[in-house]
């Protein structure tokens, strides 16, 4: 079954998927079974078990070795469900854009996409120049970035890159705006699509 577009999930009042499971875990932090979580979330037990095992490997849950298997919450990281792989390792997908969104709001001077890629990169999650260029271009279309000077020379190494400044009036929250498959820009802080290609066509 294909996943619903993120903007449709965002408007739902009831949490779904991993977020619903995590919320149930926090509500039963001192001890729970897969059956407990299934009753509360209406999510298939196999799906719950896979996520619970991933959280255990990541150190978020501790097994209590009861029969049936029982866990308790060991590391509560807040309301947002941990994004982990089956091995319990943090999912890095999307982190580069989180870093760019956070960095562009901090920068006091104007910047190019090349500047942003350097400033937003970390040892664990480097930001590719191509991704920074694409993200800046889309956020400029949506009004999050203001163009200070237009670039020249395309993508050549000797080209002059477009310079941007963050639009403080568009600081909608901590979550980075998302560029979706249809090239629309969705703001998870607002729960709505804020730019669509047809609007400015």
CATH number, domain containing residue 17: 1.10.10.10
In a domain? residue 46 = yes
Task: Report the DSSP beta bridge partners of residue 41.
Answer: none
Is 156 in the same domain as 108?
Answer: yes
Q: What is the pLDDT of residue 7?
A: 46
Which domain covers residue 63, as residue numbers?
6-73
Six-digit token pair at 32?
A: 């729970």
Q: Model confidence over 117-147: pLDDT tens digits? A: 999 999 989 999 999 999 999 999 999 999 9
Query: Rounded to an integer, what distance in angstroms lies between the CA atom of residue 72 and that of residue 97?
Result: 33
Asked, for residue 131, whether it belongs to a domain, the answer is yes
Integer Cα distance of 38 and 90 in angstroms: 24
Instruction: Say how far apart CA 127 and CA 159 lie, in whole Å.
Output: 20
User: pTM value?
Assistant: 0.65
Assigned domain for 90 exists? no
List the chain pLDDT tens, one digit each, 201 residues: 344 454 444 444 577 899 999 999 999 999 999 999 999 999 999 999 999 999 999 999 999 887 777 999 999 999 989 999 999 998 877 899 999 999 999 999 999 999 999 999 999 899 999 999 999 999 999 999 999 999 887 656 667 899 999 999 999 999 999 998 888 999 999 999 999 987 554
* CA 173/CA 121 separation, integer angstroms: 21
- CA atoms of 69 and 61, how far apart (whole Å): 12
Q: How far apart are CA 59 and CA 54, in angstroms?
A: 9
| Residue 107 sits in the same domain as residue 22 | no
Same structural domain for residues 110 and 64?
A: no
């Amino acid at each position: 079954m294909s996943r619903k577009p993120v903007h449709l999930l965002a408007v739902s009042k009831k949490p779904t998927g991993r977020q619903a499971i995590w919320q149930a875990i926090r509500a039963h932090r001192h001890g729970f079974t897969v059956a407990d979580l299934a009753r509360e979330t209406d999510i298939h037990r196999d799906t719950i078990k896979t996520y619970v095992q991933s959280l255990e490997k990541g150190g978020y849950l501790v097994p209590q070795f009861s029969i049936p298997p029982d866990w308790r919450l060991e590391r509560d990281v807040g309301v947002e469900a941990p994004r982990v792989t089956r091995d319990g390792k943090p999912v890095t997908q999307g982190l580069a854009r989180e870093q760019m969104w956070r960095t562009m709001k901090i920068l006091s001077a104007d910047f190019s996409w090349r500047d942003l890629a350097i400033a937003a990169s970390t040892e664990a999650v480097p930001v590719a120049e191509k991704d920074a260029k694409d993200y800046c271009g889309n956020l400029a279309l949506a009004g999050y970035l203001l163009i200070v000077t237009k670039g020249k020379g395309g993508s050549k190494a000797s080209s002059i890159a477009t310079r941007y400044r963050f639009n403080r009036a568009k600081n909608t929250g901590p979550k980075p705006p998302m560029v979706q498959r249809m090239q629309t820009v969705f703001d998870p802080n607002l729960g709505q699509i804020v730019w669509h290609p047809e609007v400015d066509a």
